Amino acid sequence: MSTTTSAPRSRVRWKVFGFLWILVVLNYIDRAALSIALPFISKDFDLTPELQGVLLGCFFYTYLVFQIPGGVLLDKLGARKVILAAGALWGVFQALGGFASSGVALILLRLGLGAAEAPISPSSAKLNSAWLPAKERARGATFVDAASPFGAAVGGLAVTALIGVFGSWREAFVITGVLTVIISIVFYLYLRDTPEQHKAVSPSEIEYIRGEEDVADAIDDRLLPKVSDYVRSRSFWAMMFGRLGWATVWWGIISWTPTYLSEAMHFDLGALGWGTFAVYGMGVLGQLVAGYTVDKWRSATTRYNLVMKTVFGISGLGTAVAVFSLPAISNGYTAVVALGIAVFFINFGGLYWAIPAWLAPKQQVGRIGGVMNVASSGGGGLAPVVMGFAIAASAGSFAGSFVFLGISATVYLVGSLLINYERPLAHARQDRLDADRPEERATAR
């Protein structure tokens, strides 16, 4: 046995993902702050349901626009520099939100927040491909993505507590914004773009990470897929539509649950904090169950389609049933249970952040993660606005908006089932060259 293999193996990769987890928690606390504070903000600024929907959704307009540029920056500059710049900027925009004097000013700050946060989720996919072996990527993706429901859950308690202590929603924005800037700087000081650049990583850990390269990792640079190859891929479009359906459901629940519990179920401030904590907290459990199950199952079989389609099938079906049941519920605690079940199953969708690292070559993971997150941003921008108009049109009833979310859950289910998890997107160009122009492939090699 070699010295490298027998030497103690460090676990720096999980410390890196631990820091990233904390940053994503803050990311979602910052986002949840608006949803939790919205009943108070709408009174201060006299906002209609339609304007509330626009305020909740406007974050995603710039978030969407900056996804692909953010992914390109990640591939060019590395995650370390991009995360520092993004975290510092979004912390500043969040803190300034506490000084907003009108709904319009808050909308402008939310647009800035969306642009600043855009590279954070693709950076998770980038670090996933650089720091984890293929067999740990589902756990890595769902571990980090579990920070989103956890951040939303903790954000519910933290923001309601801060509102209770200070008597205003403004201090919550300032405190969470400043904390974000501090954590971003600390993460920058610890993070490196690859394990080889980190002094604390042992040779045996590097060997462990690089010892099981995924099929998409080792593609020849000359055969990197082009945009046209991705456009031709059914799996690529299925991934985009599945992610769009997922994001519409998740952000619809994140955006409107506090208002729904406050106005339709008449929860007071204390009950609102604990109610949102219970709902969003179920997402953490869903993420961890999905990640652990998929990694264990994938390590025992090469039938990846069976593994992924079974897990996503349960996820989509469970979400749709729970959401479609909500219009018939009139009891607040029953509503919390139904929302919690929906959040548990929809958060299996955290596995989507493993898909770019599984299906795209390392050189393009940041871009594919950014492109996929365009679909997430579209759902995030669509859900709050459509739900706001549906609520206004039905004189405050949430029934129509929940039917809309149930249809979106069905889109997520169908899209997820149409992805071919056994043939990486990275090989789209190779397949085409094999079928159409074998001589070009021979020349490339």
pLDDT per position as a tens digit, 203-222: 888 888 887 555 445 555 66
Backbone angles phi, psi at 192, to 5 degrees: -130, 155
Cα–Cα distance, 113 to 94 (Å, whole number): 7
Q: Which pLDDT band, with edges at 50, 70 and 90, does 438 fall under?
A: low
pLDDT in tens, 332-386: 999 999 999 999 999 999 888 778 767 777 677 767 777 887 888 888 888 888 9
Q: CB–CB of 116/258 below 8 Å?
A: no
Select the more confidently predicted residue: 91 or 235: 91
> Closest Cα to residue 148, out of 22, 249, 311, 37?
22
Q: Which pLDDT band, with edges at 50, 70 and 90, does 316 fall under?
A: very high
Q: CB–CB of 248/323 below 8 Å?
A: no
Q: How many CB atoms lie within 10 A of CB 211?
A: 12
331-354: buried (b, 16+ CB within 10 Å) or exposed (e) per residue?
eeeebbbbbbbbbbbbbbbbbbbb
Cα–Cα distance, 296 to 424 (Å, whole number): 20
Cα–Cα distance, 76 to 115 (Å, whole number): 18
Cα–Cα distance, 109 to 92 (Å, whole number): 10
Select the more confidently predicted residue: 422 or 237: 237
Helix axes 137-145, 120-131, angle to 10 degrees: 150
Cα–Cα distance, 326 to 339 (Å, whole number): 8
Tell me what the mean pLDDT of segment 33-47 comes to: 86
pLDDT in tens, 385-419: 899 889 888 888 899 999 999 999 999 999 999 98
Tell me what the mean pLDDT of segment 168-188 comes to: 91
Q: Which tokens sit at 111?
A: 């647009």
432-436 long-range Cβ contacts below 8 angstroms, 24+ apart:
432/229, 432/232, 433/223
Share the mean pLDDT of the chain: 84
| Cα 135–chain centre separation | 21
Cα–Cα distance, 214 to 362 (Å, whole number): 10
Tell me what the mean pLDDT of segment 422-444 comes to: 56
DSSP string, 216-268: TTT--GGG---HHHHHH-HHHHHHHHHHHHHHHHHHHHHHHHHHIIIIIS---
**What's residue 212's pLDDT?**
59
Give me the percent of the chain exceeding a pLDDT of 70. 89
Has residue 143 got a pLDDT over 90? no
**What's residue 436's pLDDT?**
56
Query: What's the maximum distance between 2 C-alpha atoms anywhere in the chain?
Result: 72
**What's residue 434's pLDDT?**
58
> Closest Cα to residue 248, out of 124, 67, 368, 413?
413
Give me the percent of the chain exceeding a pLDDT of 90. 33
Q: CB–CB of 30/180 below 8 Å?
A: yes
Q: pTM for the complete prediction?
A: 0.72
Cα 158 to Cα 88, 152, 170, distances in angstroms:
21, 10, 13
**What's residue 429's pLDDT?**
57
> Considering only 299-303, 356-360, 426-430, which range has the smallest mean pLDDT?
426-430
